[in-house]
């Protein structure tokens, strides 16, 4: 496709190219003597042209005010997409009822705790992918996940821990293929229920956690309630989501 229609849309207004490709400047005598230079007129790019390029390497802009003051673990750069592999958990009403009891109790120790908007179990750390790596990365993940069976897990994974280690092992192999950081050594898999800005471990450890555990233990049908049926693995890269169903 000819680039001529796009010449007038350069980010620099000081230089343009003539039809034969040579650079010309206003007033340099490139027009014929005795003739006034034709006025320049900029036309909007047609939608049909814009729609030919729906993809972009520009990741979503970061605004910490939109997510409670949380700060990225690495700075946002154009073309870099924060990427995370995880197992989603679709919370049922009974689980949310339990959380409605747990969170207010925990907030008596740490008032700034905020309930999670969605729940998941991580299979990777957050890593940075270039835009053109996203699809090859996801395709490699799908190939690794294809042989895995569905399974049940608990709120803190004790039953099913070995299966999760197998999943992480395959995710790590994909990370290594793309020269990315692998998951933690000897990981403890868990669902995050709430978060806060800053380190609140001292306030939560000990008495608070013992009281929260007692609430869970005394909750009706807690053992069944806190079992999760794992059907898929997901990968989030920037604002894109990819699902990999388990057998």
Give 11-40 pLDDT, tens digit per residue.
Answer: 333 333 333 443 433 444 444 444 444 445
Q: Is 132 a catalytic residue?
A: no
Q: Which of 31, 105, 132, 190 is catalytic?
A: 190
For residue range 186-211, list pLDDT tens digits in order: 888 888 889 998 889 899 989 999 99
Q: What predicted TM-score, i.e. pTM, was given to this entire model?
A: 0.67
The pLDDT of residue 2 is: 29
Domain ranges of the chain: 82-245
Residue of higher predicted confidence among 191 and 67: 191
Structure confidence at residue 55 (pLDDT): 47
In which band, very low, low, confident or very high, does the pLDDT at 139 lie, cut at 50, 70 and 90? very high
Tally Cβ neighbours within 10 Å of residue 237. Answer: 22
Asked if pLDDT for residue 41 goes beyond 60, the answer is no
How far is residue 149's CA from residue 246's CA, in Å, rounded to a whole number? Answer: 6
CATH code for the domain defined by 82-245: 3.90.1140.10
For 73-77, the CB contacts below 8 A with 24+ separation are 73/126, 74/128
- What's the pLDDT score for residue 46? 53
Helices (H), the chain: 47-50, 93-107, 134-145, 161-177, 201-204, 207-218, 222-225
**Band of residue 76 on the pLDDT scale cut at 50, 70, 90:** low
Answer yes or no: 131 catalytic: no
Q: In the prediction, which pLDDT does 137 show?
A: 97
Distance CA(74)–CA(62), nearest Å, equals: 11
What per-residue confidence (pLDDT) applies to 220?
A: 79
Provide the pLDDT confidence category of residue 241 given band limits of 50, 70 and 90. very high
Set 105, 120, 132, 161: catalytic member: 120
């Amino acid at each position: 496709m000819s680039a001529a229609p796009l010449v007038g849309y350069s980010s620099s207004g000081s230089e343009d190219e003539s039809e034969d490709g040579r650079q010309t400047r206003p007033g340099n005598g490139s027009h014929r003597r005795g003739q006034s230079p034709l006025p320049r007129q900029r036309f909007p790019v047609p939608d049909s042209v814009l729609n030919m390029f729906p993809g972009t390497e520009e990741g979503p802009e970061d605004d910490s005010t939109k997510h409670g003051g949380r700060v990225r673990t690495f700075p946002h750069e154009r073309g870099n997409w924060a990427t995370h592999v995880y197992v989603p958990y679709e919370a049922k009403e009974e689980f949310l009822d339990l959380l409605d009891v747990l969170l207010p109790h925990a907030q008596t120790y740490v008032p700034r705790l905020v309930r999670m908007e969605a729940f998941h179990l991580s299979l990777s750390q957050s890593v940075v992918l270039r835009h053109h790596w996203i699809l090859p990365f996801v395709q490699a993940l799908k190939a690794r996940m294809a042989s895995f069976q569905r399974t049940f897990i608990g709120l803190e994974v004790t039953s099913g821990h070995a299966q999760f280690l197998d999943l992480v092992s395959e995710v790590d192999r994909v990370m290594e293929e793309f020269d990315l950081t692998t998951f933690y050594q000897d990981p403890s898999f868990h669902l995050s229920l709430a978060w806060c800005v800053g380190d609140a471990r001292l306030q939560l450890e000990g008495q608070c956690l013992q009281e929260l555990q007692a609430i869970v233990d005394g909750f009706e049908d807690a053992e069944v309630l806190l079992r999760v049926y794992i059907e898929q693995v997901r990968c989030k890269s920037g604002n894109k989501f990819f699902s990999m169903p388990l057998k």
